[in-house]
Amino acid sequence: MCLECNRCFLRFFLYLTAGIIPLLAGGKPRARDLGIQFDGTTGQWNAITDVAGVEVGHATIIKGKGTLKVGKGPVRTGVTAVHPRGKNNFEKVFAGYFSLNGNGEMTGSHWLEESGFLEGPVMITNTHSVGTVIDAVVAWSLNAHPNGYPVSLPVVAETWDGRLNDINGFHVKKKDTFHALNNAKSGPLEEGNIGGGTGMVAFQFKGGIGTSSRLLPQDEGGYTVGVLVQANFGRRTQLMISGVPVGKAIDGLMPEIHKRKDKDGSIIVVVGTDAPLLPYQLKRVAKRVTLGLARTGSISSNSSGDIFIAFTTSSLDGEDTMRTSFLKNNNLNSIFEATIQATEEAIINAMIAAETMTGINGNTIHALPHKRVLELLR
């Protein structure tokens, strides 16, 4: 039997057994659980937390149903925190960022660009909660590190969840941000309708938080690259999975939006690695996220805020004088490739995990139909 036949058989077998995979896994299936194929070797958790030290926390707010009453709900939102070195380590890390299309926000990016450092966590929430989260991160850093400097210019990114959420009700509070920061952990991560991704939409299916990782071969350094996305972008006809234009072939299950016109969204991507890279190299890594988006069919529309940040947990030595080693530019290709691969898979993982959700005014965003996708990939 040829290699391609083996692949077809595997896909067909996993399609037939897709219904029991969640029970065997003890939770929601991920793209690979369903037999969807991606390039590259993942880390243990296939998550950004495969990068040693990285911790991720969420606060999810879901309450109410029916007609929108601003300030009361329904509420479908939250906040997500990514600690590069964990919630108890306040050492800054080298970082870089890139804006593919700037109809969005990532606060703190000016100083990050100027200094080359990320000082504190990366936060992701909804568009109208950015200010609240900024204030909360500063307060949290003062509480958690009273003898040090506060995180004065927090990095807070956003995407718009107004299709499902009472976004003008400002429901993300200081306590929610504290919860996400304090409950961050390593290990396997929840995906889909969680944290900042609770009310998000991707390719007109339910989107949200997704993650993936890649482990480089030892002869290429053995480094880990991890990606976390908040996916809230794209049109149905653009969606591609494993190179197959599945969006064009899926009929029905379009968003049910009442009292307002549907709109394009955005995507925030966080890349972490333990590879020793300098800030300008990390900016180059952040740029490669663009190619991962393209693999899923994204065109980065005019109204989309597609903003990416990359950091390294590689150690910095010294106080007055910092010393570090870093990879030669000629050795970055494997890091670039890993970033592209993990970005693509993280987006699909977000959509596979996300479940159908009804929010304000009865607006409903349907989940990606797993069985139909697998039929199209056979």
Supply the mean pLDDT for the chain.
91
Residue 145 counted as domain residue: yes
Residue 5 has pLDDT above 60, yes or no: no
Q: Which residues of 29-42 are buried (b: 16+ CB within 10 A; e: fewer)?
A: bbbbbbbbebebeb
pLDDT value at residue 273: 98
Mean pLDDT along residues 327-345: 97
Residue of 129, 141, 306, 334 marked active site? 306
Known catalytic membership, residue 304:
yes
Mean pLDDT along residues 4-10: 46
The more confidently predicted of residues 263 and 225 is 225
The model's pLDDT over 139-198, given as tens digits with 9 standing for 90+, comes to: 999 998 877 677 889 999 999 999 999 999 999 999 999 999 999 999 999 999 999 999
Known catalytic membership, residue 141:
no
Residue of 109, 242, 298, 304 marked active site? 304
Residue 10 counted as domain residue: no
Residue 1 counted as domain residue: no
Known catalytic membership, residue 306:
yes
pLDDT value at residue 221: 96
Q: How many helices (H) and strands (E) does the chain have?
A: 9, 14
Residue 297 counted as domain residue: yes
pLDDT value at residue 154: 97
The model's pLDDT over 13-64, given as tens digits with 9 standing for 90+, comes to: 444 444 433 333 337 899 999 999 999 999 999 999 999 999 999 999 999 9
The model's pLDDT over 104-143, given as tens digits with 9 standing for 90+, comes to: 999 999 999 999 999 999 999 999 999 999 999 999 999 9
Residue 8 counted as domain residue: no
Instruction: Quote the CA–CA distance of 294 and 118 in Å, as a whole number.
Output: 27
Residue 342 counted as domain residue: yes
Residue of 266, 298, 314, 334 marked active site? 266
| Containing structural domain, residue 346 | 34-369
Residue 104 counted as domain residue: yes
The H or E element spanning position 230 is strand 224-232
pLDDT value at residue 102: 95
Residue 28 counted as domain residue: no
Q: How confident is the model at residue 328 (pLDDT cuts 50, 70, 90)?
A: very high
Work out how many domains the chain is built from and give that number: 1
pTM for the complete prediction? Answer: 0.92
pLDDT value at residue 23: 32
pLDDT value at residue 21: 36
The H or E element spanning position 150 is none
Percentage of residues of the chain with pLDDT beyond 70: 90
Burial class (CB in 10 A: 0-12, 13-18, 19+), 95: buried
Q: Which backbone phi and psi does 45 adopt, to 5 degrees?
A: -100, -5
What residue type is 210 in one-letter code? G
Q: Which CATH number covers residue 269?
A: 3.60.70.12
Do the Cβ atoms of 197 and 213 come closer than 8 Å? no
